[in-house]
Amino acid sequence: MSDNHLDSNVPGNPAYHFTVVPPGTEPAAGWARRGELLAGAGTGTQCIHAGSQPDPAYGSVMPPVYLTSTFAFSDIGSNGGFDYTRSGNPTRERLETAIATLEGGSGATCTGSGMSAVLVALNLLEHGSHVLCTVDCYGGTFRTLEHARNVYGLEVTYLDLADLDAVRAALRPNTRMIWVETPSNPLLRLSDLGALAAIARGTSALLVVDNTFLSPVLQRPFDFGADLVVHSTTKYLNGHSDVVGGAVVAGPGREALAQRIAAMNNLLGTSQSPHDCYLVLRGLKTLRVRMRAHEANALAVARALADHPAVASVNYPGLPTHPQHALAKAQQKGFGAMLSFELKDASPAAVNRVLLALRWFTLAESLGGVESLVAHPATMTHASMTPAARANAGIGDGLIRLSVGIEDPEDLVEDLRRALD
Ligand SMILES: *Cc1c(COP(=O)(O)O)cnc(C)c1O
């Protein structure tokens, strides 16, 4: 490889798109301009091309997987921009570029799980900081915050972030983060990102949005003033239920913050393996078409559930009956494919009967894959919360959560109707 290639490979540099001139390729080649065009391209184009420029060494159209822990130095103090894979790897950098581009951020860092992404973000805080967190947050996030409370002296207040007066009242001089999941899990409650950003702006708190449920195709928190976006890429970004991964993204114009999250990922040793990064990059290519298909199916399923006499209520922001349907339309570019519903008969026997009668919905944790999944939050995803915390968050024993896949909608609707009948 030429020095030309090596010099341009600056780790963590989101501008690493097409500064590289592959051997035998004219710099004027049309595709060499993709890098500069990507920020203004459509989401579908970004999904396919961000971070996926042809390989500078051989021109392979698909990205090479750099399965190496270490990189050779060409001289003392001189290498190709990478020295050790925990700190940086060309395959991971491609994924980081892709996710940062899709979110419209200044840089991303990819981690070995969504929880390690949560950890990277929380480790930006100093001892004794205060965090405001959505009351029905992801169970693992709740557990990590409680751990940080005990071990790192973090102060945490859980509250309904839709109640803006309560948010203002809960602020303390040491509040350094507002942690939002919108829509939330498993009740699909929304938080107003623009309003929360306005509150955060008047303080020294970062607004952190876990955007796992919608992906950047359906919601771009930086457009509303968020400082950081967190993802479990295990879910929609990868989309095929064969990788565990995460990402933290710094907002536009926040290069210093982008460097801090990358440095924290390196410090904690939480960075994602090159092979897993390659798989997520592969999954990302179909993100936009998958999200559209997921959403169309979820709407069909939500309507069918709302019409069924065994169902007490359906939580789906795409239904006009959802209390925040208008906010969903204003803030999101779609309603997503996560929903939950409450059975009229919440007894364990009735819940079990429905769960085990389903044929196309697999009883399993996780979400966001092409296949439909069903979960019982009280005993599965939210089992790590105390019964009191669950009750406080409104997670009842008769609540069932669906991750609606991209099978044929008629099959999914028929499956649910039959199980409920
Ligand atoms: C799954 C999930 C996480 C944790 O991600 P892992 O990849 O399982 O570690 C965090 N937040 C949300 C909203 C999730 O759904």
Model confidence at 15: pLDDT above 50 = no
Average pLDDT of every residue of the chain? 91
**Which of 331, 354, 4 minimizes the C-alpha distance to 194?**
331
Residue with CA at minimum distance from ligand 1 atom 4: 114
User: pLDDT at position 28, please?
Assistant: 56
Ligand 1 mean position to 233 CA, how many Å?
8
Amino acid occupying residue 195: A
Ligand 1 mean position to 258 CA, how many Å?
21
Q: Is 246 in the pocket of ligand 1 (CB under 6 A)?
A: yes
User: pLDDT at position 75, please?
Assistant: 84
* 8 Å CB contact between 212 and 179: no
Q: Is 295 in the pocket of ligand 1 (CB under 6 A)?
A: no
Residue with CA at minimum distance from ligand 1 atom 8: 114
Q: Which atom of ligand 1 is nearest to the CA of 234?
A: 7
pLDDT in tens, 24-68: 555 557 777 888 889 899 999 999 999 998 888 888 999 999 999
Taken as a whole, the chain contains a residue count of 421
Which of the residues are catalytic? 86, 138, 210, 235
Q: Which residues of 71-110 are buried (b: 16+ CB within 10 A; e: fewer)?
A: beeeeeeeebbbeebebbbbbbbbbbbbbbbbbbbbbbbb
- Residue 264, Cα to own-chain centre: how many angstroms? 18
Q: Is 215 in the pocket of ligand 1 (CB under 6 A)?
A: no
Angstrom CA distances, 264 to 41, 48, 123, 395, stand at 31, 29, 7, 34
Ligand 1 mean position to 145 CA, how many Å?
14
Model confidence at 17: pLDDT above 50 = no
- 233 pLDDT band, cuts 50/70/90, is very high
Q: At a CB cut-off of 8 Å and minimum separation 6, what does 412 contact? A: 297, 300, 301, 360, 361, 372, 404, 405
Mean pLDDT of 10-37: 56
- Residue 107, Cα to own-chain centre: how many angstroms? 15
Ligand 1 mean position to 114 CA, how many Å?
5
d(CA 113, CA 276): 10
Ligand 1 mean position to 329 CA, how many Å?
24
* Greater pLDDT, 57 or 166: 166
Mean pLDDT of 342-365: 95
User: pLDDT at position 11, please?
Assistant: 44
Mean pLDDT of 349-360: 95
Q: Is 251 in the pocket of ligand 1 (CB under 6 A)?
A: no
Q: Is 227 in the pocket of ligand 1 (CB under 6 A)?
A: no
Residue 189 tokens, joined: 């409650």
d(CA 281, CA 47): 9
pLDDT in tens, 57-105: 888 999 999 999 999 988 888 888 899 999 999 999 999 999 999 999 9
User: What is 90-284's CATH number?
Assistant: 3.40.640.10
Angstrom CA distances, 140 to 13, 110, 118, 122, stand at 31, 18, 9, 13
Q: Is 115 in the pocket of ligand 1 (CB under 6 A)?
A: yes
Q: Is 212 in the pocket of ligand 1 (CB under 6 A)?
A: yes
Domain ranges of the chain: 90-284, 287-420
User: What is 287-420's CATH number?
Assistant: 3.90.1150.10
Q: Is 235 in the pocket of ligand 1 (CB under 6 A)?
A: yes
pLDDT in tens, 171-184: 999 999 999 999 99
User: pLDDT at position 35, please?
Assistant: 81
Model confidence at 280: pLDDT above 80 = yes
Ligand 1 mean position to 126 CA, how many Å?
24
User: pLDDT at position 92, please?
Assistant: 98
* Greater pLDDT, 251 or 10: 251
Backbone angles phi, psi at 392, to 5 degrees: -60, -35
145, 235, 382: residue to mutate for ligand 1 pocket, most atoms within 8 A of CB:
235
Backbone angles phi, psi at 22, to 5 degrees: -65, 150
